Each structure stands twice: as structure tokens, then as C-alpha cells.
């Protein structure tokens, strides 16, 4: 199945034009700062018709989707990421047959992805608005139309972010999605540091209490900052690991192609974590539900986990969820074991660490350490899967990279110019890098969450990688600004 049947609809969607000449550095900085100002404005402006005082916090979901529940970007970039995931899966499973090396078919693919993102923006806006309505957040200032007015605002917020991402990819310093994630995580880290210093259980409060163990309490309070610094150092170290592939051009001109250890950067963990974060919606749907097999449902039992008498409750196996304020979380079952594990900053640091070894699930009595191990393995597995799919979609595999190098006139020194030789050399390095780096980013993100890194481990990993990528983009774009030949080459791709 191709995408030709969507062409009439795709042609109606607004599109950001490709610049006729390369934007200079100042123009790229201008558009990047403008997008950041718009993002932060939407981040802090509550949607009309909402009471922001009743929102419950979904911190993890908000971090990875660059969103803030109750604001104009309540859904954030969630629809954009999900659209990318779905399109990758459809292409990877050959449900959609498309040749991404063909510019026309690639344009159809991106148009279909944009269309799907808009549809998902409406869907997620409906889910969020319904969730907010059930939580008592809607203020009936517009009567029966309040629900729809809030829905439209949330939908437009995600669509605006989608087009800002498109603008930044063509006129800015890099990916808008990455920029928005880094901006949200940075706010979270700054907020976490301020809370450690000035919060109710912060350093100033500890000093004012005094006592013999004041220094021990201060050390414990500072551990999240130490954890964050440790994660930063580890990520920076891995970012510096690379393999240089020597290449030559013509006679005597030699250079090298650096293949970073984080070959796919932060893409695998962005897609994997966003996918897992959306299981929160499933938890909301499964609260107080039962699916009794081989027995009868006793409606007089208040705890729904034990309401199935004489049989098996499939909901307990799939995932038992309970309401926490205005949201819901899995507490047992399959989905609980692939639910992200986060450090609880409301508890003393060492008390939280001890729960990793003492807590067991309420229904099946499975130790929390098993949850941690399963989650880390599953996260790494998802990162590998999404990494492989991303390579296929974006043309970052050995054959595609070799073809690009060959088209630019480069070859491996000591060999004749042949794309097959380039492919054979790159196949020694790129597939292992994809596999190992995908596992590494998954495990690093998961473990950093466990040790209490501010902004979550995933957020810190993403932010460091994003900042590094933006720095490299700045260097690359300065070079491209001096060479219209290279710019024309990249624009065709």
C-alpha cells in the first residue's frame, strides 16, 4: 500500500518552504530564539476554561513530551512523536510500501506523518480534556461549549509546535522537538535545584532546624545534585567516543568521517520513553476494571483486585491500576513491570533507595528489584528496536551512508572508488554502533532515574545530547554557509 491516495489531502496542508539560500548564523539564531519564546509563552499560559489549581502532576510524561498539563501545550509534542513511531512501524512492517530514496515518495511520507500528527493532536486533546473534565478542572464559563473550546486550544498548541519544529529544521539551528524537550528539562532541573536549596525540606530548612545530624541531612539532600553531575559526566564521556573512518578525495586530499558511539544520538530513547509514557492513558482506562475468567464477579468487594471469586482476573495479569489524585498508575501486572521507575523526591534519599529492595507488589508479591530489572531490559530492547527502525527510515544504514559518500566523490584510501567497498567498511562499524549505543542510552536513562538525577535520567541524557548536537549543527552550518555546493547537496536529501 502506497500513500498516493492521501496526496489530495496532504496538498491542502500548510508547508514551510525550503529556503532558497542558506540562512546565515544570525538568522538561524533569531528563528531558534523566536521559537523558544513562543514555546515558553505557551508553556506558561493556561488554556482558557481551566482551573489550574486542580491539576495533578504527570511529571515524567510532561518532560518527555515537552508539555505542561493545563497550559496551551498540554499535549506537547506527544502527537508528533507518536505519529513518527506509527509511521516507522507501518513502513518497517511493509504495510506501507514506499521508497524513501525517491524525493517525491519521501515528501509523501513526511506529508502523511504530518497529517497523522494533526489527527493525533485532536485525539490526545480529547483524551486530556476528558481527563481534566473528570478531575474537575473545567470551569463552565462557556457553558456546554467549554469542553470543545479547551479541546481546540490543546489541539492547536500541538499543531503550532509541529510547525515550529518544521521551521527550525529549515531555518533554525536544529530539531524543534529536541529543542523543546531540552527547554522543558532545563526548567525542571532548575526547579529541582531551587527546591533542594529553598524548599520545605531543603538546605535552608535543615540549617534552621540544627541538630547533631544536620551535616548528614545536608549531604543526603545534595545527593540528587551529585547524581545529576555524575550522569552529566558519563554522558559527556560517551559523547566523546567516536571511530574515525579515513576517506580521500581525488589525489592527496584526505579526511575522516567520525562515527560517534551515540550514532543515533537520543532518538531511540526519545521514541522508547515516549511510547512507555503513553501507557499512562491505559492505566486511566483500567482503573476499577475487571475481566473475570472461570469465576464470578463479586461487586460487594470494595478492592477490585480481589473481586473475581473462584477464577482469574485478566486485568490483574494485564495491569492492575489505581487512581492517584486525578491520575492513575499501574501497581501490578504486566504493564506495571514495564512502567518507568522514578525516584520519589518526597522521601529521604536513602529511604527511597531502600524501597527498591524491600517493596513487593500488592497482588503477586513480586519484589520491586524484579520490576527494576525487567524495566531496564525492556527499555533497552525498545531502544534497539526503535533504533533499527529509525536507521531504515532515515537512511543512516551502511549502504545509504556509503552511497552518500560515493556521490560526494570520496573513497577509502588504498581502494578503488566503489560503493560496495565503502559499504563493506561501514558495515564493520555502523550495525554494532547502532546496537550498542541503543542499549547504552536505554540503560543510562533508566539507571539515572533510579539514582535520582534531577529532570529524570532520560531528560538529562536527552538535554546533554541535544545541546551537543546543536553545537555540532552550529559548526556544520557555519561551514555550509561558505559552500553553496554542499548546501545544495544536503537540500536534495
pLDDT tens column, 415-433: 777 888 888 888 999 999 9
The Cα–Cα gap between 328 and 284 comes to: 5
H-run or E-run covering 189: helix 176-198
Q: Nearest CA to 338 among 258, 397, 280?
A: 280
Answer whether residue 228 shows pLDDT above 60.
yes
Name the DSSP letter for residue 46.
B
Give the contacts of 381 (CB within 8 A, at least 6 positions apart): 442
- At CB < 8 A and 24+ separation, what contacts does 390-393 make? 390/88, 390/264, 390/267, 390/268, 390/271, 391/264, 391/434, 392/88, 392/91, 392/92, 393/87, 393/88, 393/91, 393/92, 393/100
pLDDT in tens, 63-81: 778 888 888 998 899 899 8
3 state SS of 120: helix
Strands 320-324 and 253-260: unpaired
CB 466 within 8 A of CB 183: no
Q: What is the pLDDT of residue 214?
A: 81
pLDDT in tens, 199-219: 777 788 888 877 667 888 888
Q: Read out DSSP for 372-431?
A: HHHHHHHHHHHHHHHHHHHHHHHT-SHHHHHHHHHHTTEE-TTS-S-HHHHHHHHHTTHH
Residue 58 pLDDT grade (very low, low, confident, very high; cuts 50, 70, 90): low
Answer whether residue 87 shows pLDDT above 50.
yes
Q: What is the pLDDT of residue 257?
A: 82
Strands 410-411 and 242-249: antiparallel
Q: What is the pLDDT of residue 55?
A: 56
Q: Nearest CA to 287 among 343, 340, 333?
A: 333
Rounded to two decimals, what is the model's pTM?
0.75
Strand partners, 265: none
CATH 1.10.1740.10 fits 1-173, yes or no: no
Angle of CA points 394, 123, 161, to nearest 5°: 55
H-run or E-run covering 292: strand 292-293
Place of cell 561501514: 426
Answer whether residue 108 shows pLDDT above 70.
yes
pLDDT in tens, 180-200: 988 888 888 888 888 888 877
Q: What is the pLDDT of residue 482?
A: 46
Asked which of 48-57, 106-115, 293-302 is least confident by mean pLDDT, the reply is: 48-57
H-run or E-run covering 196: helix 176-198
CB 481 within 8 A of CB 251: no
Q: Comparing 150 with 89, which gets the higher pLDDT?
A: 150
Q: Nearest CA to 133 among 59, 81, 188, 74?
A: 74
Strands 312-313 and 410-411: unpaired
Strand partners, 320: 332
H-run or E-run covering 242: strand 242-249
Answer whether residue 464 shows pLDDT above 90.
no
Where does 90-165 show beta strands of DSSP type E? none
Virtual torsion, Cα 470, 475, 479, 482, nearest 10 deg: 80
Angle of CA points 94, 98, 99, to nearest 5°: 125
Asked which of 6-20, 43-57, 297-311, 347-361 is least confident by mean pLDDT, the reply is: 43-57
The Cα–Cα gap between 232 and 237 comes to: 9
* Most confident segment among 41-50, 187-196, 325-334, 398-407: 41-50
pLDDT in tens, 346-362: 777 888 888 889 999 98
The Cα–Cα gap between 289 and 43 comes to: 34
The Cα–Cα gap between 296 and 276 comes to: 33
H-run or E-run covering 259: strand 253-260
Strands 312-313 and 308-309: unpaired
274 vs 15, 149, 293, 379, 397, CA distance in Å? 26, 27, 33, 11, 24
Grid cell in block for residue 220: 543526603
CA atoms within 13 Å, Cβ hemisphere of 343: 25
In terms of phi and psi (left: phi > 0; alpha: psi -120 to 50; beta: otherwise), the region of 159 is alpha
Q: What is the pLDDT of residue 251?
A: 62
CB 137 within 8 A of CB 50: yes
Grid cell in block for residue 368: 520491586
The Cα–Cα gap between 17 and 166 comes to: 9
Q: What number of other Cβ atoms are within 10 A of residue 310's Cβ?
A: 9
Name the DSSP letter for residue 350.
H
Answer whether residue 249 shows pLDDT above 90.
no
List phi, psi (to 5°) of 271.
-65, -40
Strand partners, 269: none
Amino acid at each position: 500500500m502506497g500513500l498516493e491516495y492521501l496526496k489530495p489531502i496532504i496538498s491542502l496542508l500548510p508547508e514551510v518552504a525550503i529556503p532558497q539560500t542558506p540562512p546565515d548564523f544570525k538568522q538561524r539564531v533569531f528563528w531558534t530564539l523566536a521559537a523558544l519564546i513562543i514555546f515558553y509563552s505557551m508553556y506558561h499560559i493556561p488554556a482558557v476554561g481551566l482551573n489550574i489549581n486542580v491539576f495533578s502532576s504527570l511529571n515524567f510524561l510532561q518532560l518527555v513530551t515537552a508539555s505542561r498539563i493545563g497550559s496551551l501545550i498540554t499535549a506537547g509534542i506527544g502527537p508528533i512523536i507518536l505519529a513518527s513511531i506509527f509511521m516507522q512501524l507501518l513502513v518497517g512492517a511493509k504495510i506501507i510500501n514506499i521508497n524513501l530514496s525517491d524525493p517525491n515518495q519521501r515528501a509523501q511520507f513526511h506529508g502523511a506523518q504530518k497529517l497523522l500528527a494533526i489527527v493525533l493532536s485532536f485525539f490526545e486533546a480529547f483524551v486530556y480534556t476528558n481527563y481534566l473534565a473528570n478531575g474537575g478542572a473545567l470551569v463552565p464559563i462557556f457553558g456546554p461549549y467549554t469542553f470543545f473550546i479547551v479541546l481546540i486550544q490543546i489541539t492547536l498548541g500541538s499543531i503550532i509546535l509541529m510547525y515550529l519544529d518544521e521551521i527550525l529544521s529549515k531555518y533554525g539551528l536544529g530539531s524543534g522537538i529536541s529543542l523543546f524537550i531540552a527547554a522543558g528539562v532545563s526548567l525542571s532541573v532548575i526547579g529541582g535545584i531551587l527546591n533542594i536549596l529553598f524548599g520545605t525540606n531543603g538546605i535552608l530548612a535543615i540549617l534552621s532546624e540544627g541538630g547533631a545530624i544536620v551535616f548528614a541531612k545536608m549531604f543526603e539532600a545534595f545527593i540528587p545534585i551529585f547524581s545529576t553531575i555524575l550522569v552529566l559526566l558519563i554522558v559527556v564521556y560517551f559523547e566523546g567516543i567516536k571511530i574515525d573512518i579515513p576517506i580521500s578525495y581525488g589525489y592527496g586530499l584526505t579526511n575522516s568521517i567520525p562515527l560517534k558511539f551515540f550514532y543515533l544520538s537520543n532518538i531511540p530513547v526519545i521514541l522508547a520513553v515516549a511510547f512507555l509514557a503513553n501507557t499512562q492513558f491505559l492505566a486511566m482506562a483500567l482503573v476499577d476494571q475487571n475481566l473475570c475468567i472461570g469465576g464470578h464477579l463479586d461487586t460487594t468487594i470494595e478492592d477490585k483486585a480481589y473481586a473475581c471469586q473462584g477464577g482469574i482476573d485478566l486485568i490483574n495479569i494485564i495491569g492492575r491500576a489505581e487512581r492517584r489524585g486525578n491520575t492513575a498508575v499501574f501497581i501490578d501486572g504486566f504493564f506495571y513491570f514495564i512502567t518507568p521507575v522514578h525516584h520519589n523526591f518526597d522521601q529521604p534519599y536513602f529511604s527511597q533507595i531502600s524501597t527498591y529492595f524491600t517493596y513487593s507488589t500488592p497482588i503477586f508479591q513480586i519484589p520491586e528489584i524484579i520490576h527494576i530489572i525487567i524495566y531496564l531490559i525492556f527499555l533497552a530492547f525498545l531502544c534497539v528496536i526503535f533504533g533499527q527502525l529509525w536507521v531504515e527510515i532515515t537512511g543512516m544504514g551502511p549502504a545509504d551512508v556509503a552511497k552518500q559518500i560515493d556521490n560526494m566523490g570520496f573513497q577509502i584510501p588504498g581502494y578503488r572508488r566503489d560503493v560496495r567497498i565503502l559499504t563493506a567498511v561501514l558495515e564493520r562499524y555502523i550495525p554494532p554502533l547502532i546496537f550498542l549505543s541503543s542499549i547504552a542510552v536505554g540503560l543510562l536513562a533508566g539507571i539515572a532515574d533510579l539514582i535520582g538525577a534531577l529532570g529524570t535520567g532520560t531528560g538529562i541524557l536527552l538535554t546533554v545530547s541535544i545541546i551537543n548536537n546543536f553545537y555540532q549543527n552550529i559548526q556544520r552550518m557555519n561551514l555550509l554557509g561558505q559552500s553553496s555546493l554542499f548546501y545544495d547537496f544536503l537540500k536534495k536529501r
